[in-house]
Structure 1
Amino acid sequence: MAFKLSARKVETLKEKGRYSDGAGLYLRIADGGRRSWVFRYLRPGGGGQTELGFGPAVGRGKDGLSLADAREKAEAARALLRRGVDPAADRKTAGTGVQTFGEFADDYLESIKAGFKGKNAVADWKRDLEVRCKALRPKLLPDITTNDVLAVLAPIWLAIPRTARETRSRIERVLSAARAKGLRSGENPALWRGNLKELLPKAPKSKRHHKAAPYKEVPGIVAALRTKHSGADTAVNRAAEFIILTAVRTGEARFMRAREIDFEQKLWTIPAARMKTEDHPEGRPHEVPLSARAVAILRAVMPEGLDPDAYVFAGQWCDEHTKPLGHNAVLHALKSVYPAMTTHGCRSSFRDWCGDETNFPREIAEMALAHKVGDEVEQAYRRGTALKKRRELLDAWSRYIEGQSNVVALRA
């Protein structure tokens, strides 16, 4: 930075006025020759322009801060501003133990970042605490109110709801930590229930749409998977085909254990513990009827005498079946033959086929996907016939994949 003053000039200036050294630092000479250093700056958070006095300045025969000392103080003030801290507020709280939100938030992030797992977690926190919370940073911790937090969240609540929710959560954590350290008291102004929940509009839920192949492409996808595992006997390709045939979720197949299979009844029963999903909040077991091809896949991947607790689809390099397939293994197998496909998208392909190419009732297709249909009374009444109809549906799906039929009519 190019400075405008020199030590000699500072000592010899006499006329009343304000003389800039650059970057906010000024030598001010008032009536009677009183000389002082002032630092002019814009308050963080849009608080307008203000100035901070550094004390008397040196002059001929007068003690005071030299130009070098004043520049050092000015640089310290600029460093605070870069962190979003008001130098005047910082001076006010010096020696009192009171901190600004910006100061405490930076220290708090430094103290907890070692526990973060995501590679972008620190950057995300810094973005929220430094950019989203810019208006909060210069405020003293005890002075922050619900209205202050609302001023940060309201402009982004509906525009970028996920980021807004994360920002709110991080503000709450910072203020909770400040209270735990005795730096503020009372209720947390960033609290959700009974506080901000009543003041912010309800943000619409955004639904994630998983990439799915058109169902007309599915027979070709399965054929490609079979070609791959005929050349290299890998469980992952068979698992991918099995998931397509049964229209189950990937996790349900990955963690399938040998004891869950009834080969005589051609039935797979997924335990209630693995069915605690949005559609099965009470965790009911789910019965999956198995087509002939699905049974053939299971017999191919399950060695004779397999332990009942062993995983059916074993992870790589795990001949004892003591570890399941990796989380992304099936996804990679599918993408290697059809890049636009996802594991959950297999279920969408199945559902589209049910609606476009069959006469099976909608509720049968939904029940095949383990979606909750109707109330408990209706579900109990349908239990006897739903399994039979779902078996017919999945057998028809298997035949379609084999290329044996395109349109399926429900038997009267």
Structure 2
Amino acid sequence: MARLLHKLSARKVETLNAKGRYGDGGGLYLRIADGGRRSWVFRYLRPASGGHTELGLGPAAGKSRDGLSLAHAREKAEEARMLLRRGIDPAVERKAKDPASTTFGAFADAFLESIKSGFKGKNTHADWKRDLEVRCASIRSKTLQDITTTDVLAVLSPIWLIIPRTARETRSRIERVLSAAKAKGLRSGENPALWRGNLKELLPKAPKSKRHHKAAPYKDVPGIVAALRTKHSGADTAVNLAAEYIMLTAVRTGEARFMRAREINFENKLWTIPAERLKTEDHPEGRPHEVPLCARAVAILRAVMPKGLDSDAYVFAGQWSKDHTKPLGMNAVLHALQKVYPDMTTHGCRSSFRDWAGDETHFPREIAEMALAHKIGDEVEQAYRRGTALKKRRELMEAWGRYVEGESNVVALATAS
């Protein structure tokens, strides 16, 4: 049962003088100490540890002294309760707002509490906590204003070449914490964790780790597609068509999962992927990617898109999203592929296409790479090729579509379940 609020009255607060603690409800207390010293305190359970603690709200007004009135104390108590409802410790939040003494550790903890509700991954909060507590141990006791680029380098240098991905994430999180501190007026000047024009010039270039995705030999692809169609004819699930569409277009799974109806131009048989959905380190920055569609790819789109579909709707809808307001699940396509070919990944479809283009066609390497939305040459070369590449890429994708339709290979496929 909820605790009663407003048990005290202004008159009672003025007349109380015996030593003790008097509750107003909801964690607010009037405390009278030796010598008649009067103060307001807020008692609560700390979100992190679950232990009881008290937060001083200030001196309490009485007959003969200035201080917080009952109404003002109730306002402060309600502010603290609002923070607790968001999972924020009021004491930590107060300390974080003191620019003179706020440490990186105290502010980082409060900041993490304030943003954790927006995390989607189940391990994201734990990863942030590890980086801000363990990786940043050497700067946690430093005040926000005193942290320099040298301090950030001391955190990153020992791990930069050993665990580069973790190091990059740690740098990004330090930068975000310090940016938030500046936004709250707790520090000024340049952010010492900035990458461009700062740490980029001071840290060695970390080697990129190459991940090899399982791919099917391209001779097996027609059989895989045939098996997907057989499964679809029996179950009529859009995920099998999505898997086939991804193989036909050689795109990344996320680019197809989040495809919206407005991106399709049926008249020109063209799909335009917005720049923000592309992998930026591979594709020319800020430029959309045009995907020519073969006849079968167009037929798949017409099959999965209901008549009158809203332009903002997802083309490949999630299993329970009849109105196409939610996309296919992240692993749905992967599972569909592996049911017919266990040693296959969605990214491996791109490798199968690239191997086929290099081994079985006379299309230039640059055209095959551009079909995969990879950067080719410098900006001048990219601009020069932009005018003619679409026509050649259309020829390449139509040839790939015809090859996939061939069904001429013999391959042992997993038994459909």
Into which bin does the TM-score normalised by the smaller protein fall?
Answer: 0.5 to 0.7
Aligned counterpart, 1:233: 236
Give how far 1:275 is off. Answer: 8.2
Secondary structure of the 1:231 match is helix
Conserved 8 A contact 1:256-1:270: no
User: Is it true that 1:288 corresponds to 2:258 in the alignment?
Assistant: no
The number of residue pairs the alignment matches comes to 305
Distance in 1 (CA, whole Å) between partners of 2:270 and 2:171 is: 42
Secondary structure of the 1:270 match is strand
Conserved 8 A contact 1:229-1:238: yes
Distance in 2 (CA, whole Å) between partners of 1:194 and 1:167 is: 18
Task: Quickly say closer, same or farther: Cα 1:183–1:250, change in 2 above 3 A.
Answer: closer
User: Is it true that 1:343 corresponds to 2:346 in the alignment?
Assistant: yes
Conserved 8 A contact 1:222-1:241: yes
Distance in 2 (CA, whole Å) between partners of 1:156 and 1:182 is: 31
Secondary structure of the 1:286 match is strand
Aligned counterpart, 1:380: 387
Equivalent of 1:195 in 198, 223, 226: 198
Equivalent of 1:205 in 195, 204, 208: 208
Distance in 2 (CA, whole Å) between partners of 1:112 and 1:311 is: 28
Give how far 1:403 is off. Answer: 0.8
Distance in 1 (CA, whole Å) between partners of 2:99 and 2:396 is: 71
Superposed CA RMSD in Å reads 3.8
Share of identical aligned residues, percent? 66
Residue identity in the other structure for 1:165: R
Distance in 1 (CA, whole Å) between partners of 2:194 and 2:157 is: 15
Conserved 8 A contact 1:258-1:307: no
Give how far 1:269 is off. Answer: 0.8
Query: TM-score w.r.t. structure 2 length?
Result: 0.60
Give how far 1:169 is off. Answer: 2.8
Secondary structure of the 2:158 match is helix
Residue identity in the other structure for 1:138: S
Secondary structure of the 2:269 match is strand
Distance in 2 (CA, whole Å) between partners of 1:224 and 1:215 is: 15
Aligned counterpart, 1:216: 219
Equivalent of 2:122 in 116, 119, 128: 119
Distance in 1 (CA, whole Å) between partners of 2:234 and 2:404 is: 23
Distance in 2 (CA, whole Å) between partners of 1:196 and 1:100 is: 22
Give how far 1:118 is off. Answer: 2.9
Distance in 2 (CA, whole Å) between partners of 1:258 and 1:104 is: 43
Aligned counterpart, 2:88: none
Aligned counterpart, 1:316: 319
Aligned counterpart, 1:87: none
Distance in 2 (CA, whole Å) between partners of 1:178 and 1:383 is: 47
Residue identity in the other structure for 1:378: R
Give how far 1:160 is off. Answer: 1.4
Conserved 8 A contact 2:266-2:298: no
Listed as ranges, the gaps of 5+ residues in structure 1 are 1-94, 406-412
User: Is it true that 1:270 corresponds to 2:275 in the alignment?
Assistant: no
Secondary structure of the 1:335 match is helix
Deviations 1:74-96 (A, max 9, x none): xxxxxxxxxxxxxxxxxxxxx99
Aligned counterpart, 1:88: none
Give how far 1:155 is off. Answer: 0.9
Secondary structure of the 1:156 match is coil
Query: TM-score w.r.t. structure 1 length?
Result: 0.61
Aligned counterpart, 2:395: 389
Distance in 2 (CA, whole Å) between partners of 1:270 and 1:194 is: 37
Equivalent of 2:168 in 144, 165, 169: 165
User: Is it true that 1:359 corresponds to 2:365 in the alignment?
Assistant: no
Task: Quickly say closer, same or farther: Cα 1:176–1:338, change in 2 above 3 A.
Answer: same
Aligned counterpart, 1:328: 331
Aligned counterpart, 1:403: 408
Distance in 2 (CA, whole Å) between partners of 1:319 and 1:119 is: 27
Equivalent of 1:257 in 237, 245, 261: 261
Give how far 1:376 is off. Answer: 2.6
Worse overlay, 337-346 or 312-321: 312-321
Conserved 8 A contact 1:258-1:311: no
